[in-house]
Amino acid sequence: MSRIPFVVSLFACLTPVAAAASDVDGRYYRERAVAPAYYDPPAYRWQGLYLGVHAGGDFARGFNFSADGVGFVGGGQAGYNMQFGPAVVGVEIEGSHLGGAQRQVGGVSVDQNWRVAGKGRLGLSFDRSLIYATVGYALTEFEAPRFSGVNDGWRGGYLLGGGIEQAFAGGLSVKAEYNYVSSSGLEAKLPFGRTVESDGDHVLKVGLNYRF
What is the reported pLDDT for 10?
A: 45
Query: Whole-model pTM?
Result: 0.76
What pLDDT is recorded for position 7?
Answer: 44
Compute the distance between CA of residue 206 and CA of residue 35 in angstroms, rounded to an integer. 46
DSSP characters over the chain: -THHHHHHHHHHHHHHHHHHHHHHHHHHHHHHHTPPPP-PPPPPP--EEEEEEEEEEEESSSS-TTSTT-EEEEEEEEEEEEEETTEEEEEEEEEEEEET-EEEETTEEEEEEEEEEEEEEEEEEETTEEEEEEEEEEEEEEEPPTTS-B--EEEEEEEEEEEEEEE-GGGEEEEEEEEEE--TT-EEE-GGG-EEEPP-EEEEEEEEEEE-
pLDDT at 100 over 70: yes
Q: Tell me which residue range forms the domain holding 25.
A: 1-39
pLDDT at 131 over 50: yes
Residues 31 and 61 both lie in one domain: no
Which is more confident, 62 or 207? Answer: 207
| In a shared domain, residues 88 and 8 | no
Q: Is residue 81 scored above 70 in pLDDT? A: yes
Give me the pLDDT at residue 41, please.
65
Question: How does pLDDT run across 37-51, given as a tens digit for each residue?
Answer: 655 666 889 999 999
103 and 4, same structural domain?
no
DSSP string over 146-158: TTS-B--EEEEEE
173 touches 209 (CB < 8 A): yes
The enclosing domain of 130 has a CATH number of 2.40.160.20
| One domain, residues 72 and 158 | yes
- pLDDT at position 38 is 58
Asked if residue 118 and residue 14 are part of one domain, the reply reads no
Q: What is the pLDDT of residue 130?
A: 98
Same domain? For 35 and 116 the reply is no
Closest CA to 107 of 209, 191, 8, 13: 191
2 and 65 in a common domain: no
The answer to whether residues 195 and 188 touch, using CB atoms and an 8 Å cutoff, is yes
Do the Cβ atoms of 100 and 65 come closer than 8 Å?
Answer: no
Question: Do 90 and 4 sit in the same domain of this protein?
Answer: no
Separation of alpha carbons 112 and 68, rounded Å: 13
Spatial separation of the C-alpha atoms in residues 60 and 116, rounded to whole Å: 18
Check whether residue 2 and residue 24 sit in a common domain. Answer: yes
The percent of residues above 90 in pLDDT, for the chain, comes to 53
Based on the fold, state whether residues 199 and 123 are members of the same structural domain.
yes
pLDDT of 177 higher than 50: yes
Domain count along the chain: 2
Residue 30 has pLDDT above 80, yes or no: no
The reply to whether 5 and 87 lie within a common domain is: no
Q: Give yes or no: residues 199 and 121 share one domain.
A: yes
